[in-house]
Amino acid sequence: MYYGFDMGGTKIELGVFDAELNKVWQKRVPTPRHSYDELLATLIELAHEADAQVGTQGKIGIGVPGMQTGEDGALFTANLPATMGKPLRVDLSQRLQREVRINNDANCFVLSEAWDAEFRSYPVVMGIILGTGLGGGLVVDGRPVEGRNGIAGEFGHLRLPSDALDVIGADIPRVECGCGQSGCIENYISGRGFEWLYEHLYGEALPAVTIIRHYRGGESKALEFVDRFMDLLAACLGNLLTLFDPHLLVLGGGLSNFDEIYQILPTRLPSRLLPIARLPRIEKARHGDAGGVRGAALLHLMDN
């Protein structure tokens, strides 16, 4: 059996999968955000409960909102204080007497999609999460690309490209980012960025769902805004598609449910690519909220 833990800032979800990726059991509990000992105890208790449910010791993978650093695998998890700087993989492996694998939660999302039955034939899969921030990852031949520092796929922390400034204006405020820089693209093309940009342009704070409803109703400001936003999204994604040349681009996160993206974006991207470039297939994520636990389980299952 394969255990996938999706460890977020508010909840920990465990999914137990068989060798065919069928989910056989799941449980969700609150995340102990500030006590490392409590968090360890929670993960250990969940693993033992799963062992009792399935009658064996499962293999454990964990998706975390951050990345491993250094030789001991200490975590950098800015939004989860309990694990910041802690060697979670080492500590859990010792206490549970089995190998624990850890990867970035966005990598787990892309891994889950790349192993979808419909998508398995694509050698290079790029995933983008248009949520509160902008997460991302790259899977090549069924395995996540992590890089030397574990930050490969942190697309949200690229700065606004010059052609994006042509779309939204060179005088656009360079929004400060949680990474310590300013002008990172996640502050403009994420779900949160979608709302911020609308407020900046029109002086009215509206949630994304309201802006989209106005767009579908033909309201002039919303039509104008979405047209500009799609150009901005294409300008930012164009550089990524040129760099990685994926066969498949999968979009997740709340803004990925704006279905018009999948009709409009392919018409805007060609002008942002090399003349010989063919567009990748662009799809909404197939596994939604379940992608995190599924991808974490695949950290072991992908070896089979």
Check if the beta carbon of residue 41 is closer than 8 Å to that of residue 81. Answer: no
Q: Is 4 annotated as a binding residue?
A: yes
Instruction: Please state, in angstroms and rounded to a whole number, the distance separating the CA atoms of residues 245 and 151.
Output: 19
Instruction: Please state, in angstroms and rounded to a whole number, the distance separating the CA atoms of residues 282 and 280.
Output: 6
- Here the tokens at position 69 are 């650093």
Query: Which residue stretches of the chain are H helix?
Result: 36-54, 88-96, 105-114, 162-168, 186-189, 191-202, 208-216, 220-244, 261-268, 291-301
Q: Is 292 annotated as a binding residue?
A: no
Q: Is 230 annotated as a binding residue?
A: no
Q: Is 253 annotated as a binding residue?
A: no
Q: Is 288 annotated as a binding residue?
A: no
Q: What is the DSSP letter of 161?
A: P
Q: Is 133 annotated as a binding residue?
A: yes
Q: Is 163 annotated as a binding residue?
A: no
Q: Tell me the residue length of the chain.
A: 304
Question: Strands 2-7 and 11-17: what pairing?
Answer: antiparallel
Instruction: Please state, in angstroms and rounded to a whole number, the distance separating the CA atoms of residues 129 and 6.
Output: 15
Q: Is 1 annotated as a binding residue?
A: no
Of 96, 85, 29, nearest to 61 by C-alpha is 96
Q: Is 11 annotated as a binding residue?
A: yes
Q: Is 138 annotated as a binding residue?
A: yes
Q: Is 248 annotated as a binding residue?
A: no
Q: Is 206 annotated as a binding residue?
A: no
Q: Is 252 annotated as a binding residue?
A: no
At residue 172, what are phi and psi to the nearest 5 degrees?
-60, 135
The neighbouring-strand residues paired with 102 are: 62
Question: Strands 100-104 and 59-64: what pairing?
Answer: parallel
Q: Is 203 annotated as a binding residue?
A: no
Of 188, 180, 153, nearest to 78 by C-alpha is 180
Instruction: Please state, in angstroms and rounded to a whole number, the distance separating the CA atoms of residues 29 and 208.
Output: 29
Where is the binding site for Zn(2+), in residues?
Answer: 157, 177, 179, 184
Where is the binding site, in residues?
Answer: 4-11, 133-140, 157, 177, 179, 184
Where is the binding site for ATP, in residues?
Answer: 4-11, 133-140
